[in-house]
Chain A
Amino acid sequence: MSSSRFVVFQGARNFRLRVILSTLSGRPIKIEKIRSDDMNPGLRDHEVSFLRLIEAVTNGSIIEISYTGTTVIFKPGIITGGTYTHNCAGAKPVGYFVEPMLYLAPFSKKKFSILFRGITASHSDAGIEAIKWGLMPIMEKFGVRECALHTLKRGSPPLGGGEVHLIVDSLIAQPITMHALEIPPISSIRGVAYSTRVSPSMVNRMIDGAKEVLKRVGCEVNITADVWRGENSGKSPGWGLTLVAENKSGWRYFTENIGGAGDIPEDVGREVAYELLEEISKSGVVGRTQLPLAIVYMVIGKEDIGRLRINQDQIDEKFIWLLRDIKKIFDTEVFLKPVDDISSRDLIATIKGVGFTNTSKKIA
């Protein structure tokens, strides 16, 4: 009967997602063979730090990590939220920790107010702007109206020293059932180019690079320069660009990148702009980075059928892993079918919510 007590996963893949899904569903999970073949087996620092964070925002969670760190048993408790300060360990930026919190925060007992300290930007994880302008609008669409991410300090890699404050004030019973069958046209492209401890000209050069590419699409492009100086700008120099394409009904697509050593700002700007075009071409109602959040919110919705239009290109390995993990934990499947329009390559993902409700919230 051990199989029914735990949902068993293998490998370090989707680590955060699995823990999050387990917390939402209340089903204990066991993750085995975490980098068991690696020279440095077991959990990484940032993963342990993430588990700490989960422990802090839940009550009654039991986390057992094996001696080698290759097996984790996680028995979720109740999401309690509250005020907490998390020092982001390891090389991972705050985005790595903030992103999973967005899945949990609206369904907690108390409001989330978490201060994250550490690096605020990186090449592979969500940046502050990406969360603020990319993921939070998705949450808004699902009924989480009051959520904010305040940047108190920016901290570029490698030394960091940034500080962001995540506040989620609306505790909802369940996400709204989504019916997004149309892809509204993009009305404008916004962006922010930021820098810490470098010359402001870098920012402007990035903007120039991006605008050069984007001027061809013919819609309004507005990129803000955001230069941080002084003690709020962290310990290392750095610069980056986030571009957001938005439409009237509140859906956003975004790409971001930061400058590395020896990068030319114009190139970074151009690259991000090209990536934005690519991302738009590969996105349905939501972009690829927003898809997991949207899908999970739809899965934990009411026992009604929600629909989301997605692009064929969005069905990649990540998506399949996501759906498989969801199926393992929630026992629910996503039904994909092509849209009515023959000229379109899009699919409609039909999801019946599992009837999740926020049970941890106290009644008045």
Chain B
Amino acid sequence: MEQSNKEHRKKKEKSTAKKKLHTQGHNAKAFAVAAPGKMARTMQRSSDVNERKLHVPMVDRTPEDDPPPVIVAVVGPPGTGKTTLIKSLVRRMTKTTLTEVNGPITVVSGKRRRLTFIECPADDLNSMVDVSKVADLVLLMIDGNFGFEMETMEFLNLAQHHGMPRVLGVATHLDLFKSQSTLRASKKRLKHRFWTEVYQGAKLFYLSGVINGRYPDREILNLSRFISVMKFRPLKWRNEHPYLLADRILDVTHPELIETQGKQIDRKVAIYGYLHGTSLSSVRGTKVHLAGVGDYSISHIEKLPDPCPTPYFQQKIDDYEREKAKEEGSTSAVPRRRKRLDDKQKLIYAPMSDVGGMLMDKDAVYIDTGNSKTGASGSTTQDKGESEELVSSLQAAQKSIGENYDGVGLQIFSSGQELHVDDSDHDSDENVSDPDVGKIGRSSLRNPRIYGKSIQEEDEEIDNLQSDDEEPDGRSEGRSSHMVEIDFGKDNGDEPILETESEFELSDHDEESWNRNTAAKLNGRSRRPKKWDIGKLIYMDNIDPSDCIKRWKGEDSHDENELSDEDAEGEDFFKKKDEADFKLDKFDSDLEKFKPHFETIKQLITKWSTVDTIKDRFVGTPIARSGDSEAPEGDDSDELYGDFEDLEANDNRDEVHNSSEDDSENDSENDSGNDTDGSFTNFDEEEKKDLTTEQERGLNAAKKESLRLQFEMEEGENFKEDDPENEYDTWYELQKAKIAKQLEINNAELESMTSEQRQKIEGYRAGSYVRIVFDRLPMEFVENFNPKFPVIMGGLLPTELKFGIINARIRRHRWHKKILKTNDPLVLSLGWRRFQTLPIYTTSDSRTRNRMLKYTPEHAYCTASFYGPLCSPNTTFCGIQIVANSDTTGSFRIAATGIVQEIDATVEIVKKLKLVGYPYKIFRNTAFIKDMFSSAMEVARFEGAQIKTVSGIRGEIKRALSKPEGHFRATFEDKILLSDVVILRSWYPVHIKKFYNPVTSLLLENKTEWKGLRLTGQIRAAMGIETPSNPDSAYKKIERSERHFNGLKVPTSIQKDLPFKSQLHQMKPQKKATYMAKRAVVLGGDEKKARTFMQKVFTISHAKDEKRKAKKQDERKQRLKKLAKLEETKLEKEKQRKKDFFSKNGSKRQFQSNDGDSSSKRRK
């Protein structure tokens, strides 16, 4: 390939910077600014560059101390080396050789970072959509020989519209280039193309050939280093939703249910994975979306110990252990901090692939050891997969033998037979597992089946396992006994734990006491005085609020209260329902009543005979002693008082103390201050309606000032006080600081809570490894599960659970070949969901109406309105027409991209409807129009409507004609022609079809073949139906006949009155004699004779004509006379007839008949 290089330019003479400085014979630097323009430009440029770096400040909700693993998606067309890349990277990071890449693989890549690799199935658009929604980093595989393929482009576009994760290009197959120069050229070409797609200067890696089934170590090392230091910006959608990439899926349906009710029943499925994004609510029944499956509510969620903890986290645990050990007095050797990652710390967790680890569930213990052995001696095994497989199968076989005489902990593993069974063969699995359960006598409901080979493979080397499992023994003990209790979340800082120890105890005690209390309710005993925590009491639904208050306050006077307490308890337990009913009308505790409860006036008077108790609440009054400010009943605040640290030191109170030193001064100050306070002056002046302009101006100024103050208060809220000396000079910095401050507050507050409280208030944090159980997932999800296809669970906000109409700005993708048709099904990837819907494309007619468009515009945005689950405005989405692989041609599949503008319950869309009519009778400005309507009723509906002729004469519909149904009278601004066409433009409402069809691709056996509602065209093609066409709409050859118009004749009487400008100018008669006239011609001879003869003939004929005319005129006069006579008699007759008629019919219907008469007259 020829390169068009620029011509070589010769190096200029004085080009070095140093030389430049000395051009004028002196050092330019030593004097004034040499080139002010240049300086300005450099400043401009540097500030431009700086500005470009800024992003809208956004809160990053990922926890800092234990973030979830970074999801690295490897994407590319088939055969570009995705699996090889993952294997190489995993080997590089953990020294583990994978034989197979199935599902997510989590590895530890650094002290504080883990990576989850997922391979995106190359040929499945659905998976590509899902992956683009969760990936933090995309390794985009590009075959260097082909450049960008359709899949790559599709993925890039999908990713872009779901928040654009970081993208690293990886070009492979570069060893296939023969010559260096073409390699270089194509690298450059690739790079530049990549830059236009991602951003200028995006990193593109080049991987040459494959050695030993892996990419060269050096190149992989570079890549892995690059990945492990990469920083990520929070993406808006992910910063607002919790999500999870399932790395393990378990069917925990009771096998008996399957056996008795058949395998079609809905399954109970447990999904495991790291939580990402925001924290997931810990409330039961939270709705989430499983991409490709549907919306389901979580029936149970549980935090599990991290299967792949970071060294940093482990170290924290170690530190904690050490602290504990120190406390106990024993000096056990705990490993010290290391600089580099130990081999032991290079963990890998990939339950769906064939690497192992030990897992302990509530249900069971799983040991996956796949390669743990080879992992230890990893460097020696350079063999290929076959031998490894042999080894592992051998190991497995041993295990199954061992299992026969082994302890209880391992018995849930299926027998050796199972190992040889294919993944898909589930029936036999069940058959095998059931007797197993029976034999062991296991009473539990569960017989979990695990997807992925690893769990079925076992290893007896327990020691090995323990080294794999990083938890200290004590912990694992605790875990096996009571899984839920282990909460790593509270181990964040060392000191808080120790400090809050007492609080834990306290709360434990509370919990315990409550338990005891409930137990006591059952038993009817226990009369221990309890101390109630109001925070807990409030949310105990079985206790009546009034009781709550009593119990909470009752502790100082519990002697008398206790009995009533007990009584109340008994009552609670037995008559709770009745009580609830009975109290319904007691409105004192009801927010329906606005006014709070006050004691009677007499009590108030006695209570407030002195205002000392609230003196400290007022400015400038002497402060009461602190003892006085306490309530008369001794309060429990010191007992309840836990240690919580408040970031914002309360020194305002101190200020009050100080200020109270001299009250008189303050008072006067306040007075003046209050006078200037705008809000109440408004109020005062409201009643005086008539203000002078100056007053009004003053009022306005005050209003403006107060608004400004409010704005400032809002912007600098809480932080301005902390930062009075304007530490932050830009708004950006201030915002950043505000965000940081708020996060700090959040952390501090949450850390001050006990773990249960924290769980309740915060939910499950991102980064925690959780097991989520769904009660009723369709069996197809389990039966047709394929670990190659990622399973993603996304949390839903309350709005996203509602359905309605979404108005979105949408544009056909410029690479999609066809424009989109209204009401053709379109698969949208909006939020977590993928669903098919029927969008109606509209445009706004100068904001007065939304007019339906039949097709999307070619290159411009239009509005699409569709029915579906709502999504907050500003969310971007993609539309795809066909997702099934078998239906796609090779062309670009992303049909449209857009952004949600507005959500609503209804939307008004109209389409234009033009009614056409033809005039058949024309008076001056009035015309009768036919063919527009078919009945008088229709006309009546449109009376007064604007109509228009094609030539542009405007008019109005007046009234329906009685006779021909549907004809009407219309008036126009001018006389119209018979040949005109009259048009009525009207708007017809269009209703959105409520069609929502979630793409349930993960339920299919063949996941790439999801077919929803077909496009109209596809259905027609399949059924062999021709596209219906209105013959009117067909294009015909237009024949236009030439029209002749008569010349304009203006009567002389008018013409003479016309102004000169408007006069028709006719040519004046010629005054000069023409040549012909001037020429003298002398007649003579025959010609003269002929002329005279002809003259005589003409004279005779003229005379004859004259005579005939006179005679005809006579005849005509006669005839007219006769006609007049006839008419007279006719009128006479008519009159007579009328007379007779009215004399007969009376005067009752006189009016009507008259009316009819007049109309008939007019028609004449």
Contacts and interface: CB of A to CB of B under 8 A. Distances in A.
A360 B591 contact: no
A4 B903 contact: no
A324 B848 CA distance: 46
Interface string A118-144: 000001111000101100010010010
A289 interface: yes
Interface stretch (B148-156, B665-673, B1042-1050): B665-673
Contacts of A143: 714
Contacts of A312: 631, 635, 637
Interface in A310-331: 312-313, 315-318, 320-324, 327, 331
A281 B590 contact: no
B650 interface: yes
A95 B594 contact: yes
A185 B656 contact: yes
A321 B545 contact: yes
Interface string B701-724: 000000100110110011000000
Given A305-B750, A335-B753, A320 B707 contact: no
A281 B752 CA distance: 29
A182 interface: yes
B594 A277 contact: no
Contact of A321 (B61, B534, B591, B797): B591
Given A187-B674, A324-B538, A362-B901, A318 B873 contact: no
Contacts of B385: none
A152 to B, nearest CB: 11
A184 B652 CA distance: 8
Interface in A298-346: 302-305, 307, 312-313, 315-318, 320-324, 327, 331-345
Contacts of A186: 617-619
B578 to A, nearest CB: 10
A261 interface: no
A340 B714 CA distance: 26
A332 B761 contact: yes
B746 A304 contact: yes
Interface residues of B, number: 122
Nearest to B660: A185
A342 B714 contact: no
Interface in B482-538: 534-535, 538
Interface in B570-616: 580-585, 587-599, 601, 604-605, 607-608, 610-611, 613-616
Contacts of A248: 619, 673
Given A277-B611, A340-B644, A344-B637, A352 B584 contact: no
Contact of A342 (B638, B684, B749, B902): B638
Contact of A281 (B59, B614, B902): B614
A11 B618 contact: no
Nearest to B659: A185
A181 B646 contact: yes
B900 to A, nearest CB: 8
A185 B684 CA distance: 23
Contacts of B395: none
B681 to A, nearest CB: 11
Nearest to B643: A340
B596 A279 contact: yes
Contact of B614 (A267, A280, A333, A352): A280
B640 to A, nearest CB: 5
B257 interface: no
Contacts of A33: 581, 584
A274 B600 CA distance: 10
Contacts of A340: 644, 646, 650
A331 B753 CA distance: 18
B708 to A, nearest CB: 11
B549 A320 contact: yes
Nearest to A282: B596
B359 interface: no
A316 B549 contact: yes
Instruction: Sort chain A's interface into a size bin.
Output: 35 or more
B621 interface: yes
A133 B677 CA distance: 14
Interface stretch (B277-285, B1071-1079, B1153-1161): B277-285
A190 B680 contact: yes
Interface in B720-775: 742-743, 745-746, 749-750, 752-753, 757, 760-762
B749 A350 contact: yes
B232 interface: no
B590 A224 contact: no
B870 interface: yes
Interface stretch (A12-20, A82-90, A159-167): A12-20
A292 interface: yes
Contacts of A323: 538-539
Contacts of B591: 13-14, 16-17, 292, 318, 321-322
Q: Count chain A CB atoms within 10 A of each CB in B637, B742, B743 and give the residue with the most.
A: B637
A188 interface: yes
Interface in B680-713: 680, 683-684, 686-687, 707, 710-711, 713
Nearest to A129: B683
Contact of A277 (B614, B621, B906): B614
Interface string A176-196: 110101111111101010000
A176 B718 CA distance: 11
A11 B580 contact: yes
B674 A188 contact: yes
A353 to B, nearest CB: 10
Nearest to B636: A338
A337 to B, nearest CB: 6
Contacts of B673: 187, 248
B617 A278 contact: no
A360 B607 contact: no
Interface stretch (B423-431, B798-806, B1009-1017, B1127-1135): B798-806
B904 interface: yes
A289 B596 contact: yes
A270 B807 CA distance: 57
B1163 interface: no
Interface in A67-125: 77-78, 80, 95-96, 99, 109, 123-125
Contacts of B753: 335
A260 B1095 CA distance: 125
B477 interface: no
B637 A338 contact: yes
B562 interface: no
B671 A324 contact: no
Given A190-B680, A278-B607, A305-B749, A181 B592 contact: no
A205 interface: no
Contacts of B1118: none
Q: What are the 8 closest A-B residue pairs judged by CB atoms, nearest first?
A: A60-B905, A317-B589, A11-B584, A320-B545, A362-B902, A343-B626, A182-B652, A274-B604
Given A332-B761, A338-B640, 4 more contacts: A182-B650, A354-B798, A359-B872, A361-B873
25 contacts: A12-B585, A13-B591, A27-B798, A37-B584, A60-B904, A77-B905, A125-B594, A145-B711, A176-B717, A187-B670, A187-B674, A217-B615, A219-B620, A219-B670, A220-B670, A280-B617, A302-B59, A304-B743, A305-B746, A317-B545, A323-B538, A332-B761, A334-B538, A335-B753, A342-B637
